[in-house]
Structure 1
C-alpha cells in the first residue's frame, strides 16, 4: 500500500505545489536574475514564471492582508531586467466554493506559458483541490479552466473539469471580446486531444507488442480528464478508451491514470465485464491489493451472472482474489 500513497503524494505535489523554485532564474537572454533583487518588500511568498506570452521571466507577490485575504501583485519583466507592477488582485474565501478554509490553504502556480493558476487545497489524506486557470489575452488574464479534485478512498482523485468562456478576468471584470478566441481555443484543444488519443494508443500498442512499454511515459490525469471532457464515454468509443487504460497501466507511470479512466468506465457501464479485470490489474500494478481483489471479485460475479465461460477466467484472478 505504501507505493500508491507515495505516488499520490507526488501527484498532488505536482498539481498544486509549484511554489518552491530556485533562487536564481534565467531571463530570455539567459542572464541570471536574483529573486532577492526583484523586490525588497516583506512578502509572504514569491512565484515566478512566464505569465504573459513574451517568454520573459515574470513574478507574482503574495501578501497576506490583516483580514482573511490574499493580495496578489503581478509584475511583468522586460528585456532590460526591469519589472513593472501591472495588476493587484484581492482573493478572499468567497472566491472558492469547495475547499474548507481556502485562504489558509491558498496557492498560486505557474502553469503553461501565459497562464496563472490560483487554487486552494485542504485537508488530510482525502483532500479537495480547487483550481482556476487564467489565460493571458489582451493585456489581462481570463478564466479558461476550473477544476475540482477530491481524493477518493483509493487515493485516486475524482475530478470535475469545466472549460470557461474567457469572459471573466482575473480581477473580476467582464469582457465580451474573447468569444472568437474562445471558440478557436476549444476547436484547437479538441483537435489536439483527439490527436493525443490516437498517438498514445498507437504508441502503447506498438511498445506493448515489443515488450518495451515499461520504458515510456503514460498518459497523465490532466490529459485523460480533458479527453473525457471533449469526448465523453459512449458506446462508439468505449473499446478505445478501455484499450487506452489497459496499455497505459503498463507504462512506467500510468497506473493512476488507468485506474481513474477505468473507474469512469465502470461507473457509466457497470456491466462491462472486461473493464473490471483491467481495473483489478491496474490496482495490482499500483500495489493496492485490497481494491484489486474487489475488482477481480466483481469480474467473477459478472462472468457468472452473464453466463460466460468460467474457464476463460485467468488463473491470476483467482490467485489474487484470495
Structure 2
C-alpha cells in the first residue's frame, strides 16, 4: 500500500511540475506560418492560426531521455528548452499534414517569455540555459529597452555572453542599448568584449575606445578600466 502511494505521489508531482514547465504561449521560429499555441497550467491547449482557433483539448505529457514528449490528440511533439518540435507533414511513404495552412514540413514553436523571466532563468542556470534568436528578437519588440529596464537588459546581455553561442545575442541587445542610451559606459565595454570573443577585433577596438572616451568625459576612475582593454587596443 505504501509503495503504491509513493508511486502515485511521484507521478502526481511529476505531472504537476511538467504542467508548469510547458504552460505558456508559443509562436513559430523562423517560419512564415502564423501558427500559435497556448497551453494552460491545467494542460488545456489551443492551436490557432491568425487568431482563428484550429483545435483544442488536453495535452498528454510523457518523459523521454532528452526531454518531454507531448501528445496533442493525434499530434506528437518533442519539448525541450521551452521549444516544441513538430513534424507538420509526412512524405510519399507516409503522407499526412497537421496544419495545411503551413507549408513547413517541420515547425518549431518557442515559448514567449518576458524580460524578468528570461533574466531569472539565465542568471540562475547560466551556461546551461539557451534562448533562440527569435526569442531574443521577440522580447526586444514586446518589451522595448527603456530607462526602467536598461539595467536588466544590460545584465541579461552579460549572462548571454557566458552561454554557448550567446555572444551574437548579447551584441544584438547591447547595440540597441547603446543606440538608445549612448552615454551608458559599461554597455560599450560589454559590447566590445563580445565582438572580441567573436573575433571581430576592429569592431571590438572601436567600442573599447568609445568606452575609454566616455570614462574620461564622465570623469570616472580610469584605474577601473580592465588591463585587457589597454592591451587589446594597442
User: Which of 207, 214, 221 is the equivalent residue of 1:302?
Assistant: 214
Distance 2:137 2:120 in 1: 19
1:233 pairs with 2:233: no
1:203 pairs with 2:121: yes
Distance 2:223 2:100 in 1: 67
Give the 3-state SS of the residue equivalent to 1:112 in structure 2.
Answer: strand
User: Which of 107, 128, 133 is the equivalent residue of 1:112?
Assistant: 107
Query: How many Å apart are 1:241 and its aligned residue?
Result: 0.5
Correspondence list, 1:1-322, <5 A: 49-50=87-88, 57-58=89-90, 109-110=104-105, 112=107, 192-194=112-114, 197-207=115-125, 213=127, 216-322=128-234
Summarize the Cα distance change of 1:112–1:275 in structure 2 as closer, same or farther, 3 Å threshold.
same
Summarize the Cα distance change of 1:110–1:301 in structure 2 as closer, same or farther, 3 Å threshold.
farther
Distance 1:82 1:225 in 2: 34
Give the 3-state SS of the residue equivalent to 2:107 in structure 1.
Answer: coil
Q: What do residues 173-210 of structure 1 show as CA deviations (whole Å, max 9, x unaligned)?
A: xxxxxxxxxxxxxxxx8xx421xx334322332345xx
Query: How many Å apart are 1:220 and its aligned residue?
Result: 2.6
Conservation of the 8 A alpha-carbon contact between 1:220 and 1:254: no
Give the TM-score of the pair, scaled to structure 2: 0.55
Query: How many Å apart are 1:243 and its aligned residue?
Result: 0.5
Summarize the Cα distance change of 1:269–1:111 in structure 2 as closer, same or farther, 3 Å threshold.
farther
Query: How many Å apart are 1:264 and its aligned residue?
Result: 1.1
Distance 1:251 1:314 in 2: 22
Query: How many Å apart are 1:244 and its aligned residue?
Result: 0.4
Give the TM-score of the pair, scaled to structure 1: 0.41
Summarize the Cα distance change of 1:282–1:218 in structure 2 as closer, same or farther, 3 Å threshold.
farther
Query: How many Å apart are 1:253 and its aligned residue?
Result: 1.6
Q: What do residues 209-228 of structure 1 show as CA deviations (whole Å, max 9, x unaligned)?
A: xxxx2xx2432321111001
Q: What do residues 282-315 of structure 1 show as CA deviations (whole Å, max 9, x unaligned)?
A: 1122222221111111100111111111111111
Conservation of the 8 A alpha-carbon contact between 1:217 and 1:254: no
Summarize the Cα distance change of 1:303–1:111 in structure 2 as closer, same or farther, 3 Å threshold.
farther
Dislocated runs of 4+, deviation >4 Å: 81-84, 108-111
Count the aligned residue pairs: 153
Summarize the Cα distance change of 1:82–1:321 in structure 2 as closer, same or farther, 3 Å threshold.
closer
Distance 1:232 1:285 in 2: 26
Query: How many Å apart are 1:29 and its aligned residue?
Result: 9.4
Distance 2:166 2:172 in 1: 10
Q: Which runs of 5+ in 2 are unaligned?
A: 1-28, 32-73, 77-85
